[in-house]
């Protein structure tokens, strides 16, 4: 347990068939809550709270997308205790998964059914259901970190964030006995545009209906490098490669932004109740490019 905002919710809701025999407090591990910067980039301890990230001056000046994403998470109270390690490791918040395991023993809980596939899938995946699950990955920080090309450092290895997430429970590739200890972020190029945008039902706090993390450079000339990631639309974050291709080789303009937005949803296959997400994603990508 780090901040506990996910773990305690699962325990109190009897999401799993068995409660854990022990809960290990990671906050007693010294040195995992620091944020440092150097010429090689930024290092964020896994126990750094979202508030500490959002208020860090180096983050604000050099990695503004991280500040934007941190401030988009939940409420001030949750940001004060929630950690970046917990944010990227949290489980999905699909209502079938979060309900009592006796009522909905879904695929992620060891059952044989994704109830959203034939049920209420209003907030579920529009990019298919790899391995049969249509829940959407909820991390805001993960989207920003992916756009920046960050890596997760554990007590056993270093993983690019692009290899960190998985489509089924628990939503990441950490092995038994493995914890995230820090996040490393390479320094961005000069003249880099960094934008995180999130659409949510309740503006005050909520999980993403859809989100986008954009990092591209140069921002004031022909774009040569672009990284665009989508959240809230698939079981794990989705790289919008078609949107990246539409952006690269062009100077930012209204037309280029519109084309990239349209390209971002070409592979989308909505479910019975969530086709409304497509224009939201399209607009978020367009707005991010023009921001």
**Residue 2 belongs to a domain:** no
Q: Any idea what the CATH number is for the domain that residue 163 is in?
A: 3.30.465.10
The residues, any chain, with a CB within 8 Å of residue 220's CB and separated by 6 or more, are 191
pLDDT, position 203 = 85
Is 217 strand, coil or helix? strand
Closest residue by Cα to residue 98 from 201, 207, 172: 207
Distances (CA, A) of 116 to 66, 132, 150: 31, 10, 32
pLDDT tens sequence across 117-149 = 999 999 999 999 999 999 999 999 999 999 999
- 174 and 73 both lie in a single domain: yes
Alpha carbon distance 68, 264 (integer Å)? 21
Neighbours of 179 (CB within 10 A): 16
Please state the φ and ψ torsions of residue 112, each to the nearest 5 degrees: -115, 5
Residue 85, token pair as written in the block: 């390690």
Q: Calculate mean pLDDT across residues 186-204.
A: 95
Domain count within the chain = 2
- 245 and 143 both lie in a single domain: no
pLDDT, position 16 = 87
**Residue 147 belongs to a domain:** yes
Alpha helices (H) in 199-272, listed in sequence order: 241-247, 254-264
Please state the φ and ψ torsions of residue 67, each to the nearest 5 degrees: -65, -45
* DSSP annotation of 9: H
Alpha carbon distance 67, 21 (integer Å)? 36
Q: Any idea what the CATH number is for the domain that residue 214 is in?
A: 3.30.390.50
Q: Calculate mean pLDDT across residues 165-180.
A: 96
Residue 68, token pair as written in the block: 């934007």
Res 198 pLDDT > 90 = yes
Which range of residues forms the domain containing residue 180?
Answer: 7-91+138-185
- 43 and 84 both lie in a single domain: yes
The answer, as to whether pTM is greater than 0.75, is yes
- 272 and 210 both lie in a single domain: yes
Strand partners, 183: 44, 152
Say what percent of the chain tops pLDDT 70. 100
- 55 and 73 both lie in a single domain: yes
- 241 and 170 both lie in a single domain: no
Residue 52, token pair as written in the block: 């500490």
Is 196 strand, coil or helix? strand
Q: What is the mean pLDDT of the chain?
A: 97
Res 284 pLDDT > 90 = yes
Alpha carbon distance 115, 73 (integer Å)? 27
Distances (CA, A) of 82 to 6, 139, 147: 9, 12, 21
């Amino acid at each position: 347990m780090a901040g506990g905002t996910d773990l305690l919710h699962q325990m109190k809701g009897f999401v799993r068939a068995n409660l854990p025999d022990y809960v290990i407090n990671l906050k007693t591990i010294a040195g995992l809550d620091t944020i440092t910067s150097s010429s090689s980039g930024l290092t964020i301890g896994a126990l750094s709270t979202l508030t500490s990230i959002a208020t860090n001056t180096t983050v604000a000046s050099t990695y503004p997308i991280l500040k934007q994403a941190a401030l988009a998470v939940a409420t001030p109270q949750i940001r004060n205790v929630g950690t970046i390690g917990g944010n990227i490791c949290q489980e999905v918040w699909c209502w079938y998964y979060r309900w009592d395991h006796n009522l909905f023993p879904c695929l992620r809980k060891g059952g044989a059914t994704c109830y959203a596939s034939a049920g209420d899938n209003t907030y579920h995946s529009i990019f298919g259901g790899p391995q049969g699950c249509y829940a959407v990955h909820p991390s805001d920080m993960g989207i920003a970190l992916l756009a920046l090309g960050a890596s997760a450092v554990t007590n056993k290895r270093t993983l690019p964030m692009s290899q960190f997430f998985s489509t089924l429970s628990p939503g990441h590739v950490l092995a038994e006995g493995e914890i995230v200890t820090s996040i490393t972020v390479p320094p961005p190029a000069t003249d880099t545009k960094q934008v995180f945008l999130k659409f949510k039902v309740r503006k005050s706090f909520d999980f993403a209906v859809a989100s986008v993390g954009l990092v591209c450079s140069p921002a004031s000339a022909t774009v040569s490098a672009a990284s665009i990631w989508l959240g809230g639309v698939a079981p794990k974050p989705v790289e919008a490669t078609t949107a990246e291709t539409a952006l690269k080789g062009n100077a930012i303009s209204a037309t280029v932004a519109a084309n990239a937005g349209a390209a971002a949803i070409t592979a989308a296959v909505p479910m019975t109740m969530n086709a409304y997400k497509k224009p939201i994603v399209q607009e978020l990508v367009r707005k991010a490019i023009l921001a």
